[in-house]
Structure 1
Amino acid sequence: MTAPVSPAESKLEIREMTIDDLSEVFHIGEEVFTAEFSPTLYRTWDEYEITTLFNSDSELCLVAELNETIVGFALGTTVEKQRGPWKYGYLVWLGVRPKVQKAHIGRELFRELRRRMREQGVRMIIVDTAADNEAALGFFRKQGFGNPREHVYLSLNLTRSRRK
């Protein structure tokens, strides 16, 4: 088993995602956000969400390059409520290749995303994850997130439902 590479030992660069990065980001997401990992994931990982975020909030779509290879990404957006006093940041997706997840790449991606959101006037960042995703919960707590709220969603499998 290969030991994780630390950013200090290698050249880590966090930068804005470009159109040429979309395919690689999609493939990393496929590797990380699998049905086996999270069978009840209420949002699906797909290329449409990536391109939508890239087209609307490209400055909040970041990639991490380690030795000139993309190994992670962060996709965010901002939300302003009409007549609301605050601008919110929303970290929609954060993914790092499994082989380098212990190298603090996610932390560096989040730091840059937070910096950019602060420059845009964001006062609060929200993120969601599955309640049983202990790794993600631990990661987000280390980044300063707190005040968790449980989110309940219901599903109806129409292929098994006989009601009209």
Structure 2
Amino acid sequence: MPHNDPHEEEAPRIRQMIIEDLPEVFHIGEEVFTAEYSQSLYRTWDEYEITTLFNSDNELCIVAEHEERILGFALGTTVKKHHSPWKYGYLVWLGVRRELQKMQVGARLFKELKRRFKEQGVRMIIIDTSADNEPAIRFFKKHGFDNVQEHLYMTLNLSKRHKKKAVKKP
């Protein structure tokens, strides 16, 4: 007699994103990638992000669903650098509904995306996140990422008036 694991039935199904998923994926991203999430988010979450990746690398755009409800998504692409024999996988966005973030949905999405990257001949996966995004850093380290390198980027807010400071002459 086959043994049925009750948790197996609860596991989300991971599948390729279809065009009808775009609005729900967008709304999950709006919920997760907010200014509070990262005040210096240099890549903003907008419909252009999803549609560009969906149109260029559809096989690397996946969702986790349970009972026809999307629980999370992963959006990736591949990068081939000029004069390099390596092909890189770039996990651009990984988002899971807030109330489900401790339920292995992200891990299942990552595992499937990694499998798809390998199928495409990728030799290294790259991710980026804010240096203060400790949950994401823990998640990726748990999944084998290392060689953490901090990247400095700066902003100039043009909507604020800046007063020039007087320089005293000796």
Range of TM-score over shorter length: over 0.9
1:41 Cα shift?
A: 0.8
Which 5+ residue runs of structure 1 have no aligned equivalent? 1-5
1:11 Cα shift?
A: 4.1
Length-normalised TM-score, structure 2: 0.89
> Is 1:102 aligned to residue 97 of structure 2?
no
**What does residue 20 of structure 1 align with?**
20
**What does residue 135 of structure 2 align with?**
135
Aligned pairs, number: 158
**What does residue 38 of structure 1 align with?**
38
Q: Who wins on radius of gyration, i.e. which is larger?
A: 2
Q: Which structure ranks higher in relative contact order (CA pairs < 8 Å, sequence separation ≥ 6)?
A: 1
Cα RMSD for the two superposed structures:
1.5
- The 5 A counterparts of 1:1-12 are 8=8, 10-12=10-12
Q: Deviations over 1:2-60 (max 9, x none)?
A: xxxx9635141000000000000000000000111211111100000100000000000
Structure 2 counterpart of 1:67, one-letter code: E
- The 5 A counterparts of 1:64-103 are 64-103=64-103
SS at match of 2:8: coil
SS at match of 1:94: strand
- Contact 1:7–1:66 (CA under 8 A) maintained in structure 2: no
SS at match of 1:114: helix
**What does residue 60 of structure 1 align with?**
60
**What does residue 157 of structure 2 align with?**
157
1:126 Cα shift?
A: 0.3
Length-normalised TM-score, structure 1: 0.92
> Sequence identity, in percent?
66
Give structure 1 regions of 4+ aligned residues with deviation exceeding 2 angstroms: 6-9
SS at match of 1:70: strand
